[in-house]
Homo-oligomer: A and B are copies of this chain.
Amino acid sequence: MELNVPLQVIGIARTGRTALDATPIQAAINRAEHGTIEIGEAYKDGLDGLAGFSYAWMLTWLHESGDPALEPDMSRMPFLLRKQGRRVGLFATRAPRRANPIGLSLIEILAVTGSSVSFAGVDVIDGTPVIDIKPYVTKFDRPPVDPHCGWFDEVTVEQGVTPAKLTPPDL
């Protein structure tokens, strides 16, 4: 079933990354790198108060994550499981190619100036459409206890790791 609704682009992410395979897979493992969100004129007044938050969720439309006409595979071998040759379901992964390619990046807010949001933690390529920003609120966004994190508990995620670094050169 499809929802017949238009998605609004509230801004564009500006980063130093252009190649998907050479872009770190999560903002949290690439905290040192900075980027900017250029917010559209119609939305800039919505930034009032955002600077008081240390972190925010940047929701993006991962427009280059695959051919939208192709149904994404429900069974996946994430980059981090390639060595083990293990597959898991799409909804047990953070893979960018999804039923809806919506990215969820935990960015650190560095500054909000006019219609520009400077952030730390880059995991999207330059030009990625931003569809929402939500402030990180500890009382809403942190589980009450240390949670089990499935197969992620069994793998090491190195700082700055990219798909290219995890792909054996002969594949």
A interface residue numbers (CB < 8 A to B) = 1-10, 26-29, 31, 40, 42-50, 52-57, 59, 61, 63, 68, 71, 74-75, 87-94, 98-100, 102, 104, 106, 108, 129, 131-152, 157
Verify A135–B42 contact, CB threshold 8 A: no
In angstroms, how far is the closest chain B Cβ from the Cβ of A153?
A: 8
In angstroms, how far is the closest chain B Cβ from the Cβ of A156?
A: 10
Q: Name A's interface SS.
A: mixed
- 7 A/B residue pairs, CB under 8 Å, sorted by A: A1-B8, A3-B7, A4-B6, A7-B7, A45-B75, A52-B151, A93-B135
A152→B29 CA distance, assembly (Å): 26
A4→B146 CA distance, assembly (Å): 40
Verify B94–A50 contact, CB threshold 8 A: no
- Copies of this polypeptide in the complex: 2
In angstroms, how far is the closest chain B Cβ from the Cβ of A87?
A: 8
Verify A146–B138 contact, CB threshold 8 A: yes
A40→B108 CA distance, assembly (Å): 35
With A89-B45, A151-B49 already in contact, the answer to whether A141 and B141 are too (CB < 8 A) is yes
With A28-B140, A74-B45, A74-B46 already in contact, the answer to whether A52 and B150 are too (CB < 8 A) is yes
Verify A139–B152 contact, CB threshold 8 A: yes
Verify A5–B7 contact, CB threshold 8 A: yes
